[in-house]
Amino acid sequence: MNKKLIAAAVASTLAAPVVYADGHLGITPYGRINNAIDIRDAGENNTVDVSNVSSRFGFKGAGDIGNGLTAIGRYEFATTTDKEQNNVADLRLGYVGLSGGFGSVTIGNQWSAYFNHFGTIVSPTYSLGYYLYSSYAGGPFRTSNTIKYSNSFGPVSLDADLRLNESGEDNDVAEKLNGDGFGIGVTFNATDSISIAISADSEENNDTDIVDEETGDILGTAAAEDTDRFGIAGKFGFGPAALHIGHQTTEQGNFEVDHTQVYVSVGIGDKTSVLVGAGVAEDNGTGEADSVFLGAYHNLGGGLKLYLETTSVTTEDAGVELSDITQTLLGMRIDF
């Protein structure tokens, strides 16, 4: 067979949903390849690499089962795209559910209710805006062992999740929530250019065993304090510009972290935009982290974007600087 015909057949298969013989179930493949020149300045430790930036590949499925109901499911895997090693690295999303006039109910590993509302406003960057939101203040991206309900009521959208994880399975960096818990997120779209979001989450942390380092014997149990999070954020559009602003508080026992983040985005023509931001996170143990951010993005079309992101993050404890790290990404990203 002609090689051009083979290539065209493969391309059309990837581009169009796959429909089973009964005509009800459609499966759509999708993905993202995001690679960047990664420049890091951390004092005496300076590096320049090509890095994979959250590349992924997945499938979305939907099937009409009658009576206004639709079966839904999704698989999404993190992929390694900067080197030939363990290409499929991790499960990002994996859930199954049912949707209809009542909204949707899904079960599995999925985006948290907290992030879907508060997090999407205060973490709008491709990569480098995550530190204060997630690493310092403990804001989640995805959550495992989760049952989630989603719905919209006119200008209001809602997500509520329940996590059943008494076994205390370890989670990766994107899944901050470990153990039983629940969360809720609500967004009110006042106009096409004004959105207000509120999110809350409560996490029941699992007790941990105290182990003798020499013998390995369990000496007792350390009770873990529950963690509560609350965030409020807004996005306000002004023509080609938009302001993102939000504040979150994370409490665990007597320990508390407050995080405030501000971004301003400006569109330059139809294909180019600039994003600038700053944030501060403080804990009542005298720790503090400050960040500044600059991003520039250009859409070449065909799903391909060129971008620059650079951030500087400074951490302190009791007024003494612990670290000052600058990271820059010069990247290419294609979504399909």
The domain locations on the chain are 23-335
Closest-CA residue to 304 (of 13, 15, 55, 32): 32
17 near 39, Cβ under 8 Å? Answer: no
Predicted pLDDT of residue 290: 97
Output the pLDDT for position 213: 65
Give the C-alpha separation, 151 to 101, whole Å: 9
Dist CA 86 CA 58 (whole Å)? 16
The residue to which tokens 């400074």 are assigned: 314
pLDDT at 2: 43
pLDDT for the residue 12: 46
pLDDT of 115 reads: 96
Plot region of 318 (φ>0 → left; ψ -120 to 50 → alpha; else → beta): left
The pLDDT score that the predictor gives to residue 43 is: 82
How far apart are the C-alpha atoms of 200 and 182, rounded to whole Å? Answer: 9
Instruction: Enumerate residue ranges in the chain where pLDDT < 70.
Output: 1-24, 166-179, 206-224
Contacts of residue 102, defined as CB under 8 A and 6 or more positions apart, other chains included, come to 151
Where would I find the beta strands (DSSP E) of the chain?
Answer: 18-19, 25-42, 45-52, 56-66, 69-79, 88-100, 103-111, 142-153, 156-163, 181-191, 194-203, 208-211, 218-222, 227-238, 241-252, 255-268, 272-283, 287-301, 304-317, 320-335
Its sign, for the CA torsion 73, 79, 81, 86, is negative
Beta-strand (E) ranges in 239-319? 241-252, 255-268, 272-283, 287-301, 304-317
The matching CATH number, chosen from 1.10.645.10, 3.10.450.50, 2.40.160.10, 3.40.190.10, for 23-335 is 2.40.160.10
Q: What is the pLDDT of residue 5?
A: 39
- pLDDT at position 225, please? 79
Residue 77, token pair as written in the block: 């895997």
Is residue 217 exposed (0-12), middle (13-18) or buried (19+ Cβ within 10 Å)? exposed
81-110 burial, b for 16+ CB within 10 Å, e for fewer?
A: bbeeeeeebebbbbbebebeeebebbbbbb
Residue 321 is predicted with a pLDDT of: 86
- Provide the token pair at 323: 């670290």
pLDDT for 13: 44
pLDDT at 95: 97
